[in-house]
Amino acid sequence: MREWQSTDHMDPGPSIASDYFHGLERTAKIRYKEKLSILGEIEDPYLHWGKGMVEEEWQNWPKVEYLHIYNYLIQSPSLYTGESLKAYKSLDAYNYYLNGW
């Protein structure tokens, strides 16, 4: 499992100042900042949530392919690694399902 580096300096900066960000725990803030840095210098999307910045017509949404979802969920920084996701057979819920319970 990847260890997250903690930093003493947790100033969100001008581009990350949403209520969502401030409500996160310290390690979640670090991961959130790291994910935004992968996307480049963009603003926190939650800054504009509910202020008319979200496109409501699905026809106008950007095209999202399987690869985009895979990269976001699997390849982006996370508490879970690819190996831990492949180890689902050791989970109790999976075993309960197999045993019909």
Q: Rounded to an integer, what distance in angstroms lies between the CA atom of residue 50 and that of residue 55?
A: 10
Task: Write down the pLDDT at residue 25.
Answer: 93
Task: Write down the pLDDT at residue 7.
Answer: 44
The answer to whether residues 1 and 81 touch, using CB atoms and an 8 Å cutoff, is: yes
User: What percent of the chain has pLDDT above 70?
Assistant: 76
Q: Rounded to an integer, what distance in angstroms lies between the CA atom of residue 9 and that of residue 31?
A: 14
Min mean pLDDT across 29-33, 39-43, 47-51 is at 47-51
- Residue range 39-44: average pLDDT? 77
Position 91 pLDDT exceeds 50: yes
Task: Write down the pLDDT at residue 27.
Answer: 92
DSSP per residue over 56-98, as a string? --GGGSPP--HHHHHIIIIIS--SS-HHHHHTGGGSHHHHHHH
